[in-house]
Amino acid sequence: MTSRQPLVVGVDGSAASARALRWALVEGRRRGVPVFALEVWESHAVTAGPGPLLMYPNLAPHHVREQHWQNLTRLVHECMGAASSPEVHAELVEGDAAAVLADRSAHAAMLVLGDRGRGRVADAVLGSTALRCIHRARCPVLVVPAGVEPEAESGGAHAIDPVLG
């Protein structure tokens, strides 16, 4: 019996997150589990009066949120292509990416993230969402490195994963 726990994918619009989403879609299809594409964004709303928003109305939180939503749904559609499975849920959440992804990992079979490949020094200085998720997640975390694309689906049998079933 396979687990119906979903795969959760952190998406931020980057090529790395698109690669992670494509990997999760192939794996979700193989396992018959849903995939949650989760984009986390932080509002940098101006609280010093209406002046800045009058000059730059596209920076209003509702405009920024709508742009994130459009980017997320476009990415999901591009990665899905003509496929009708797996079941995919796109979700946009405001907050700290690592905290939200770690929280959502509590009921996931796996958290899938892309690796931007900045290197150890940059990650040590800047911090990395993937690195923070690895330490906070409550399920296995897969970081799909640059250069790795999901394998083409084959009609043959495949090994049963002890985590995903």
Q: What is the DSSP string of 41-64?
A: E------S-SHHHHH-GGGSHHHH
Closest by Cα among 2, 24, 7 to 139: 7
| Calpha distance 60→87 (Å, rounded) | 32
Residue 126: pLDDT over 50: no
Count the alpha carbons within 13 Å of 132 in the hemisphere toward its beta carbon: 15
- Averaged confidence pLDDT in the chain: 81
Residue 157: pLDDT over 50: no
Residue 124: pLDDT over 50: yes
Q: Count of domains in the chain?
A: 1
Residue 4 lies in a domain: no
CA angle 109-151-138, nearest 5°? Answer: 15
| pLDDT for 29 | 93
Residue 63 lies in a domain: yes
pLDDT confidence tier of residue 1, bands split at 50, 70 and 90: very low
Mean pLDDT of 30-40: 95
Residue 125: pLDDT over 50: no
Altogether, the residues listed in the chain come to a count of 165
Residue of 59 and 65 predicted with greater confidence: 65
Q: Which residues pair with 9 in a beta bridge?
A: 37, 112
Residue-number span of the structural domain to which 93 is assigned: 12-43+52-144
CA angle 127-109-43, nearest 5°? Answer: 40
CATH number at residue 63: 3.40.50.620
Residue of 139 and 149 predicted with greater confidence: 139
Sign of torsion, CA 81 143 154 37?
negative
Mean pLDDT of 67-86: 91
Residue 151 lies in a domain: no
